Chain A
Amino acid sequence: MILKKGRLKIQVHKNFRKFLVPEFLKKGQLKIQEMAFMLVAVFLFFILVGMFVLTLMYMNIHEDATRIAEERTLSSVTNLADSPEFSCVASKTNCVDGDKLISLVGRKSYENFWPFSSLKVITFRGFGKSENELVECNFANYPDCDLFIVYDKNVDNERAISSFIALCRKEYENGYTFDKCELAKLIGGTELKGVEG
């Protein structure tokens, strides 16, 4: 015990300026500390790499989702005029029946039917007018209006794809009922997900 105390005293004295730690313990502790730091560093490195990869993947997923949504919008817009909700009497191709279109305005049930974030038709008289000048169509002012808003989900970021169509409606003149057609533009919007405005 005396010997041990003496040795201890000497060691304590010897290591006084080095945090009062015995030499044999210091080496082991240092190794453990080194390894622990190394481990933490390795973990942090992997976590950072993982986060970087996930961010890249997440960005790609958003880009891919937007690309696919745009492809769907494009393929749908070009075929939409021939769908039963829009198509003209006597099945004229690429022709929208205005008398059916006015009934679709504000019909909430169709909001989740087509893959668009918004669906509008601008009549020929609305071409060249600014957005504020366009007169929205409803049962009361139809057909003296410029813009049919079938629906608009009011998303923050949207890219519009349009297609020219023939917009036809029934007219009555001199005792005859006939189809009157004019040029119009069908506009389908795609929501751009994860894209800053």
Chain B
Amino acid sequence: MKKKKAIAMSFNWIFAIITGVFILFLAIYGASKFIQTSEKTIYTETAASLISLFDPLETGLASGKAYEIGFKKQSKFYFTCDYLSNQPFGKQTIAFSEQTFGEEYGEKGGGVSIKNKYVFTNEIIEGKKLYVFTKPFFMPFKITDIVIVLPDSDTYCFYDSPEEIKENLEGLNLETIHFPNESERCEGINVCFDIGRECDIKVFEEEGYVQKQGTRVFYIGDLIYGAIFSSPDIYECNIKRIKNKFNELGKIYLDKIKIIERKECGAQLGPKLASVIGEIENSRDLIMLYEKIEDIDSINRRAKSGCSLY
């Protein structure tokens, strides 16, 4: 009988231990999954809220706008660009995560789509502050505002930059962009306009391209800022998206020509405009259109009073 009682006790204990361990395991697993999901939800919400902050940066009549966004912890932002989905405009996504324990980052949140903005930045940026500035892009009418996102962890040192670029960037009061003299020392990503220097980013103004990470990306107008501050992949993707937006706007302007013809405004730029609507392969193709675009602009400027198209 004693032996039997001992067996009964040990069975109870074994049973309790096994089920206890099982319940504990389930509880810990459930709690960790719950925390992970909550964290991911918060990160996704943060990314979504961040996109709303880009809207007030629409330039309208301004030549550029800038502001900074601060975060409580060191944060990481993941950007992607895809010109093939959401045709014809393509889309970008932004995902967010922040440091949790020590220097470890939490699992990144869900990617939130950006369909009506053109964000030029690197694929992954990291910092406690983000500097965001916008520049309008004309070709020859306004196509969009290009949004440049810079983290506080990346310092840019501009050498021998033209006065126009220096004035434009200094006017935005961005703490991470410096224009050092020969005597001053600047540690960071070197951007050079003088071909003789050894630099991370070289700008060839006459040829209209920027050399970065062993790749050439071509620019016109204010796209130079996108070419300097974003990764070549995101830049090329956004160029295709911008060209697609140009195509859609071109169609709208072609329709507008038909409307204003009813009001004694015979716009002559229709055929020229129609000829530049089409797809491009890369940024080099975009600058090939530059001459035709100049022609369109000069025709529009010559239009009779009250009849200009844009």
Give A contacts to B, CB under 8 Å.
24, 27-28, 31-32, 35, 39, 42, 46, 50, 53, 57, 61, 64-65, 68, 71-72, 75-76, 78-79, 82-85, 87, 89-91, 93, 97, 99-100, 102-104, 107, 109-110, 112-115, 139, 142, 170-172, 176-179
Contact = CB atoms under 8 A, between A and B. Distances in A.
Interface of B: 4, 8, 11-12, 15-16, 19, 23, 26-27, 30, 34, 37-38, 41, 45, 48-49, 51-52, 55-56, 58-61, 86-89, 115-116, 141-144, 248-249, 251-253, 255-256, 259-260, 263-265, 304-310
B34 A53 contact: yes
Contacts of B265: 170, 172, 177
A177 B306 contact: yes
Given A68-B45, A142-B259, A177-B305, A82 B4 contact: no
A172 B144 contact: no
Contacts of B143: 84
A93 B52 CA distance: 21
Given A35-B15, A35-B16, A68 B52 contact: yes
A64 B112 CA distance: 14
- Dominant secondary structure at the B interface: helix
Contact of B306 (A76, A93, A178): A178
24 contacts: A31-B8, A32-B15, A35-B12, A57-B38, A64-B41, A64-B45, A71-B52, A72-B48, A72-B55, A75-B55, A76-B116, A84-B141, A85-B252, A87-B142, A100-B253, A102-B255, A109-B88, A110-B248, A112-B86, A112-B115, A115-B116, A170-B259, A177-B305, A179-B306
Given A84-B249, A177-B307, A179-B306, A79 B4 contact: no
Contacts of B23: 42, 46
Contacts of A32: 15
Nearest to B304: A177
A87 B142 CA distance: 9
A91 B8 contact: no
- Dominant secondary structure at the A interface: helix
B252 A24 contact: no
B41 to A, nearest CB: 6
* A35, A46, A85: residue with the most chain B Cβ atoms closer than 10 Å: A85
B196 to A, nearest CB: 40
Given A99-B260, A142-B259, A50 B30 contact: yes
Nearest to B16: A35
Nearest to A91: B61
A35 B19 contact: yes
Given A68-B49, A113-B115, A83 B15 contact: no
Nearest to B23: A42
B242 to A, nearest CB: 11
A168 to B, nearest CB: 11
Nearest to A71: B52
B252 A100 contact: yes
B133 to A, nearest CB: 16
Given A35-B19, A93-B60, A76 B8 contact: no
A64 B109 CA distance: 15
B51 A89 contact: no
A135 to B, nearest CB: 18
Contacts of A110: 248
Contacts of A83: 58
Shortest 8 CB-CB contacts between residues of A and residues of B: A103-B255, A75-B55, A82-B60, A177-B306, A172-B263, A79-B58, A170-B263, A99-B259
Given A53-B34, A82-B58, A178-B306, A170 B8 contact: no
Contact of A72 (B27, B52, B86, B249): B52
Given A79-B60, A91-B61, A113-B116, A71 B49 contact: yes
Contacts of B45: 64, 68
A97 B257 CA distance: 13
Contacts of A113: 89, 115-116
Contacts of A99: 256, 259-260
A46 B248 contact: no
Contacts of B263: 170-172, 177
A110 B16 CA distance: 63
A60 to B, nearest CB: 8
B249 A79 contact: no
A72 B58 CA distance: 13
A79 B56 CA distance: 7
A197 B310 CA distance: 43
Nearest to B115: A113
B8 A27 contact: yes
A68 B11 CA distance: 56
